[in-house]
Amino acid sequence: MTDTVGIVIVSHSSDIAKGTADMVRQMVGSEVKVAFCGGNPDGGLGTSVPLIIDAINDAWSPKGVAVLVDLGGAETNSEMAVEMLEPARRDLVVVCNAPIVEGAVMAATEAAGGSSLAQVKAVAEELSAD
Amino acid sequence: MSVPSETLKSLVKAAAEQVIASAPELTSLDQAIGDGDHGTNMKRGCEAVLGKLDAISAQPLDEALKMIGKTLVMTVGGASGPLYGSFFLAAGEALSHDKQLPDDLADVFGSAVNAVSARGRSQVGEKTMLDVLVPVLETLKTAAGQPDLIARVRTTATEAVERTAPMQATKGRASFLGARSVGHVDPGARSSCVLVQAVCAGLEARP
């Protein structure tokens, strides 16, 4: 298997994160590494920096990882998680400005074709363009 | 300045306990214009800080601040984790780079405020914690070295919180409400005020 960009899904809700990951897997099978997390450190609605770090490392690929997030705190916590990665990985992770479900499916489909991290991010973010 | 371990410990403990005591109020403010989790999130973070109190207060001040910041980042579970976490991480970082207390207090606080602004991509006037932190920074600059500095900081923080009520939020979850965010005090501004007041009270109580 050639390396493909990994996908991480970060939602305030673990149900949404898991459901989104299920939809992604249905689209791209096992060609792309997909990891997800949702919920605050107590399991309630929210996001958790350590869980995001774990998810990024689980989905790790030498081609990088694209992170899809839902609302504000998920983005802020994901950006913080990226900064806390080991330096060699930090520059190979992007947080996409895209709707979480559509963005994850589009990003994973693009990744499955062997595209670069920048291409994967661009395709996901086309969804946010007017 | 080296801060005695006991002083550091009592300041951190008082600040964390004050935030925990304010959790119901923070949650209530956040229910009005946000997602209602600011109180529980800050409480979780501050309880984690209290759990590491001995380890934190055994460190030199710069490392203690960084440990507080990292603990908040890892445990709060909302955007306030990285925001307050970045504040304390940057303050600790500034002290690790030749800044000294009390002489450079405004510089150190300024570095911390800049980190919050960068993390949240936010500026003063957008109904956030910056609307307390930036006025406090201004007072730290203008009243530096004055005997009534602490009292002036306390007044600044209290007045600044109230000034967030008529603001319309353009950042964070409250921005979804648009004009309906007007009339409510910002919960992040309130938690910043609680922290500032707790540290000031602790400094005033020093022998």
Digit-by-digit pLDDT tens for chain B (207 residues) are 567 889 999 999 999 999 999 999 999 999 999 889 999 999 999 999 999 999 999 999 999 999 999 999 999 999 999 999 999 999 999 999 888 888 999 999 999 999 999 999 999 999 999 999 999 999 999 999 999 999 999 999 999 999 999 999 988 778 888 888 899 999 999 999 999 999 999 999 876
Residue-wise pLDDT tens digits, A81-124: 999 999 999 999 999 999 999 999 999 999 999 999 999 999 99
Residue A12 covered by a domain: yes
Residue A44 covered by a domain: yes
Residue B124: per-residue pLDDT: 96
Euclidean distance between CA atoms A66 and A56, whole angstroms: 9
Euclidean distance between CA atoms B203 and B207, whole angstroms: 9
Residue A112 covered by a domain: yes
Q: Residue A12 catalytic?
A: yes
Contact B195, B146 (CB under 8 A): no
Contact B87, B195 (CB under 8 A): no
Residue B136: per-residue pLDDT: 98
What range defines the domain where residue A42 resides? Answer: 6-126
ipTM of the complex: 0.88
Q: Is the pLDDT of residue A130 over 80?
A: no
Nearest CA in chain B to A38: B77
Contacts of B177 in chain A (CB under 8 A): none
Amino acid identity, position B54: D
Euclidean distance between CA atoms B118 and B8, whole angstroms: 27
CB contact under 8 A, B44 and A84: no
Euclidean distance between CA atoms A45 and A11, whole angstroms: 9
Domain count, chain A: 1
- Which of A12, A33, A63, A121 is an active site residue? A12
Nearest CA in chain A to B72: A49
Residue A93: which CATH number? 3.40.50.510
Contacts of A42 in chain B (CB under 8 A): 44, 77
Euclidean distance between CA atoms B203 and B65, whole angstroms: 17
Buried b (16+ CB within 10 A) or exposed e, B119-145: bbebebebbbbbbbbbbbbebbeebee
Contacts of A45 in chain B (CB under 8 A): 35, 37
Kindly report the pTM of this predicted structure: 0.93
Report the relative pairing of strands A65-69 and A34-38 from DSSP bridges. unpaired
Residue B147: per-residue pLDDT: 93
CB contact under 8 A, A80 and B120: no
Nearest CA in chain A to B45: A41
CB contact under 8 A, A80 and B41: no
Residue A1 covered by a domain: no
Among chain B, residues having any CB pair with chain A shorter than 8 Å are: 35, 37, 40-41, 44, 73-79, 81-83, 85-86, 119-120, 172-173
Rounded to the nearest angstrom, the minimum Cα separation between A109 and chain B is 30
pLDDT band at A129 (very low <50, low <70, confident <90, very high): confident
